[in-house]
Structure 1
Amino acid sequence: MLVTRKFSNILIRSSINSTVRLFQVCVMGGASEIGQAVSLLLRTEPAISKLVIHDTWETTPGVVIELSHIPAKSALKGYLGDATMKQALGGSDLVLLVGGPLKTPGVSDEACLKANMEFVKTVSSQIGRLSKMPFVGVVAEPINSLVPMAAELMRNFGTFDARKLFGVTTIDWIRARTLFGTLHGLAPERCFVPVIGGHSNKTTVPLISQASPGTDMTDTDIRRFVSEVQRYDEIVSEAKLGRSATVSVAYGALLFARGALAALAGRQARVHAYVENDHFGTSYFAGLVHVDSNGVREMTRYTNRITEYECHILEEALDRLRKDVALGKKILEAE
């Protein structure tokens, strides 16, 4: 254990005298580049009573010390090494898996999967051994394959609940609505563009036909928009001279965490996530998910006004998605 600050309260009173429940959140891989960004954003979240940072990097103590310099009511604990993983996870309501490299141009999904699979395998096995499964959000790439792999590992233990396992895809929705708003001179925060399918350039499907507010776009404009949304990781990486997107991805993780914690507190919430779902011709699918304290309730479905072009790119996405899911499970079968 690296840093500890005592915080015994589990309840706080809001300005309207209602009781607000607080939660423990654990960031696995918290010393990585994106892990530090996620931890920073979560440090002062009012719904968090304890923030736990775990990593195997030797720089972890320094990261936790830096975070301790930020004034916050929540407790802060840091853990270093695989041997402390059980301690780090214990008592957590929400666990975010953010360690490992993110996808960058020139790196195949298979190579990215190989780089991150040991991290996800180790953490998933430890989560499976907990007496009660917390909400788990996978940010590590490639989500399309790592989430099914994590699920198969956790199924070996008695506490697994598929409703509590999420691939965090909020960044896809953030990008789509921002690009849509910018394109049409609208406030992005007032725009909504559903993004479904998976979480990769070949499986991300923004639905302009369901966008709000509605606007007129030519077929050429729509195809250009879809291509740009799908290529955003590449665009950012090129601008960052080969480094992956981190700040916007971390913000997406923050929004996911807020939604998950709201659901755990008993409020109806929605998150953008990749979850176990067999209603779309594949065993996993991403979209706008309705969540309560038990986890996933249902995913928003769009059956009206889907265009022929959107149906076409969705079919292509589903074909690739099935392969991505199989790839994640195949690695376990080969061992």
Structure 2
Amino acid sequence: MERAAVLSRHFAAEERQRSPQLDAQPTSAPGSGYNVAVLGSGGGIGQPLSLLLKLCPRVRDLRLYDVANTAGVAADLSHIATAARVSAHTGGDELPDALYGADLVVIPAGVPRKPGMTRDDLFNINAGIVRTLCEGVARYCPHAWVAIISNPVNSTVPIAAEVFKRAGTFNPAKLFGVTMLDVVRANTFVGEALGVDPATVNVPVIGGHAGVTILPVLSAGTPKLSVPEGQARALMARIQDAGTEVVKAKAGAGSATLSMAYAASRFVEACLRAMAGEVGVVECAFVASSLVTDLPFFASQLRLGPGGIAEFLPLPRLNAMEQGNFESMKAELRSSIQKGVDFMNT
């Protein structure tokens, strides 16, 4: 019976591919829950992310995929008393079953960052992983929303875009690089500085998702942060280097996994709320964009709707310090984007 259900979802996806006009409607009916696939569910981010998604009432089917250890994670999560059904899919032969009929695919797969390792060091391994998984997405669930966590996001998102373009399935409104952790960190650190609950803070973060390309617009945050420029610079530097802070604190035992899983689950839930037709869902993400004319991908505030990105919100006004950071990050971000494109052309 389960195999029949999988095949039914597959044929429905094939029919949508032949009839693009049907793509305006989500695969799952609003209110019934959605099918979410986590590719890399056995890793340091994938396991806690899968736990949080098992707790999300908007998830109907949670498909866990990895190259090993998937069955154990799925069995463990399946004992949790929530409505989401959990299935395990291990190895390339089972990737199609994980993807058929998925409404949203989350990709945390890849190697973690270790002490002394830059995000560029991650590229050689993670780029190939993302390419392979996105080829599967293009073939088996071409209309799904795709949220990429695998670092370096500034390069892996352009890789995904190139894969989808070559397959004829690229929809820029449905491809996202997850930069929510930068927002979460900015809100947390600003909340500490203000002495308020970080949950009440909202700091837009634009640019990219690595080092200097991360630009928290502290001057546009709410509540308003009024501190001397030196303190603002120190706060910005901490947000930009927060990943390294965690890597050093774990002393070689890992990178930011728990906070990343929390941030990713928040972003996934925002996507599912938008799919269901909730109005006013606004989040930051790294996407194909024309907001900055000489950068084809850029992280900014987006209003999400049932079909993906519904609106690019205008960039917030930058103060002099932030404008300086904006100008200095552009070359780095442009180079990272091109690195992903070049990978697909070699």
Asked whether the two chains share a fold, i.e. TM above 0.5, the reply is: yes
Query: Any conservation in 2 of the 1:100–1:140 contact (CA below 8 Å)?
Result: yes
> SS in structure 1 opposite 2:31?
strand
In 2, Cα distance between equivalents of 1:180 and 1:113: 31
Whether 2:56 is the aligned partner of 1:45: answer yes
In 2, Cα distance between equivalents of 1:299 and 1:102: 31
The equivalent residue for 2:40 is 29
Alignment of 1:224-235 (within 5 A): 224-235=234-245
Whether 2:253 is the aligned partner of 1:264: answer no
The equivalent residue for 1:193 is 203
- Of 324, 331, 340 in structure 2, the residue corresponding to residue 319 of structure 1 is 331
Alignment of 1:284-323 (within 5 A): 284-304=297-317, 306-323=318-335
Q: How big is the shift at 1:160? A: 2.1
Name the structure where helix makes up a greater proportion of residues.
Answer: 2
In 1, Cα distance between equivalents of 2:217 and 2:75: 44
In 1, Cα distance between equivalents of 2:141 and 2:260: 30
> SS in structure 2 opposite 1:224?
helix
Letter in 1 for 2:180: T
In 1, Cα distance between equivalents of 2:118 and 2:199: 33
> SS in structure 2 opposite 1:137?
strand
Letter in 2 for 1:154: F
Q: Which runs of 5+ in 2 are unaligned?
A: 7-29
Between 1:105-114 and 1:184-193, the stretch displaced more is 105-114
In 2, Cα distance between equivalents of 1:93 and 1:187: 34
- Of 181, 189, 208 in structure 1, the residue corresponding to residue 191 of structure 2 is 181
Q: How big is the shift at 1:157? A: 1.8
Q: Deviations over 1:152-179 (max 9, x none)?
A: 0111123321110000110000000110
Coordinate RMSD, CA, aligned: 1.6
Query: Any conservation in 2 of the 1:172–1:195 contact (CA below 8 Å)?
Result: yes
Q: Deviations over 1:201-253 (max 9, x none)?
A: 12000111112111321110111011110110011111111220100000011
The equivalent residue for 1:74 is 84
Letter in 2 for 1:145: S
- Of 94, 105, 109 in structure 2, the residue corresponding to residue 95 of structure 1 is 105
Query: Any conservation in 2 of the 1:103–1:142 contact (CA below 8 Å)?
Result: no
Query: Any conservation in 2 of the 1:203–1:317 contact (CA below 8 Å)?
Result: yes
The equivalent residue for 1:15 is none
Query: Any conservation in 1 of the 2:206–2:284 contact (CA below 8 Å)?
Result: no
> SS in structure 2 opposite 1:20?
coil
> SS in structure 1 opposite 2:167?
coil
- Of 220, 234, 256 in structure 2, the residue corresponding to residue 245 of structure 1 is 256
The equivalent residue for 1:116 is 126
Q: Deviations over 1:129-161 (max 9, x none)?
A: 136420000011010000001100111123321
In 2, Cα distance between equivalents of 1:134 and 1:316: 35
The percent identity for this pair of structures is 31
Query: Any conservation in 1 of the 2:38–2:65 contact (CA below 8 Å)?
Result: yes
In 2, Cα distance between equivalents of 1:20 and 1:150: 29
In 1, Cα distance between equivalents of 2:46 and 2:194: 34
Q: Deviations over 1:15-48 (max 9, x none)?
A: xxxx723100000010111100110111121111
> SS in structure 1 opposite 2:77?
helix
Letter in 2 for 1:32: G
Q: How big is the shift at 1:72? A: 1.7
Question: Hey, which bits of structure 1, 4+ residues long, moved more than 6 A?
Answer: none
Query: Any conservation in 2 of the 1:130–1:159 contact (CA below 8 Å)?
Result: no
In 2, Cα distance between equivalents of 1:73 and 1:211: 37
- Structure 1 156/302 Cα, relative in aligned 2: closer, same or farther at 3 Å? closer
Letter in 1 for 2:146: V
Letter in 1 for 2:175: L
> SS in structure 2 opposite 1:156?
helix
Q: Which runs of 5+ in 1 are unaligned?
A: 7-18
In 1, Cα distance between equivalents of 2:193 and 2:95: 45
- Structure 1 202/105 Cα, relative in aligned 2: closer, same or farther at 3 Å? farther
Q: How big is the shift at 1:333? A: 1.1
TM-score, length-scaled by structure 1: 0.91
In 1, Cα distance between equivalents of 2:49 and 2:333: 27
Whether 2:266 is the aligned partner of 1:255: answer yes
- Structure 1 105/231 Cα, relative in aligned 2: closer, same or farther at 3 Å? farther
In 2, Cα distance between equivalents of 1:146 and 1:332: 10
In 1, Cα distance between equivalents of 2:147 and 2:290: 19
> SS in structure 2 opposite 1:21?
coil
TM-score, length-scaled by structure 2: 0.88
Q: How big is the shift at 1:271? A: 2.3
